[in-house]
A = this chain, B = another copy of it.
């Protein structure tokens, strides 16, 4: 009998697990929020992931439950665990991805390097933090933010006045970084762990635009330190499945943890075409407690460029023939989503020996889908 894996959430991360699930012979099932989502091909149920009975009915039919996102409420997750369901990552780990204040506090306990931070309950506490940090800070809502939402750079408490009154906020030092990196690791429930090469991520407007794997100018010590941070967090937080650690590299060569994600992550999409084991296959292996795959690059360089939705008439389908004709070796991955402006609707991977050529190919292919 095929192992049955249930994915909660019907977005593109669930969609991209379908291909490796088929190859590994898994029976993959998705609980989608709505019909016709990215992972519709494998959707066996539609419903609200916040509703315990909906999730419980879905979980009853599978061997392990995992996720397309981190938004399933703790009480739902804990009820599943109490039912005896294998949930990976589990609620004890996911709480740190769901709440940035808890994450900061736990990383501090683990002595993982991170920016200066404070829990600020009101304007006075934020002013104190600003005064101690050069008059500037990044303020974040502890829950619900993504892709730049729920994050503001401020010089005065008034700039987040609308956020106070609904629990404490997280204030962080505005790090003077030279670039952003991301470290991915996979961890099995039994403890085995595999680290991917650390990659460079380029953000535009708070959204990941481009990823270079491995990170250029990756001194051996840099890659070791990054992998060590990833392993410490995966072990310290009890993560199972894929973990992505977004990092700042400072001009004085420190690595500081920015954000965490406990699932496949945009910074790892390059691995679909560039690594021996893609992050999507790896996540499935890890959550099923199967032996992990080799995370080494298949070629010296891989570059991923996101495709963001443009005008409604610029559907991916209409642009695809010209892009494929111009770039026969580039890999275009689509998410089956309506192209609203700024929405991630796909990405392009290019791989090869020469970084300049690979960057060019990925960008030039993605440009066919732009405005």
Contact = CB atoms under 8 A, between A and B. Distances in A.
A17 to B, nearest CB: 10
A290 B19 contact: no
A228 B296 CA distance: 36
B15 A334 contact: no
A212 interface: no
Nearest to A15: B22
A317 interface: yes
Contact of A320 (B15, B290, B325, B331): B290
B41 A317 contact: no
Interface residues of A, number: 41
A336 B292 contact: no
How many identical subunits does the complex contain? Answer: 2
A313 interface: no
Contact of A290 (B277, B299, B321): B321
Interface in A299-333: 299, 316-317, 320-321, 324-325, 328-329, 331-333
A24 B332 CA distance: 7
B329 A2 contact: no
A203 B370 CA distance: 48
Given A299-B298, A329-B293, A317 B25 contact: yes
A351 to B, nearest CB: 7
A296 B351 CA distance: 13
Contacts of A20: 19
A366 to B, nearest CB: 15
A28 B40 CA distance: 12
B334 A23 contact: yes
A329 B22 contact: no
Interface of A: 1-3, 15, 18-20, 22-25, 28, 41-42, 276-277, 285, 290-294, 296, 298-299, 316-317, 320-321, 324-325, 328-329, 331-336, 346, 351
5 contacts: A15-B22, A25-B346, A291-B328, A298-B298, A299-B299
Given A18-B22, A23-B333, 5 more contacts: A23-B334, A25-B336, A294-B328, A294-B329, A298-B298
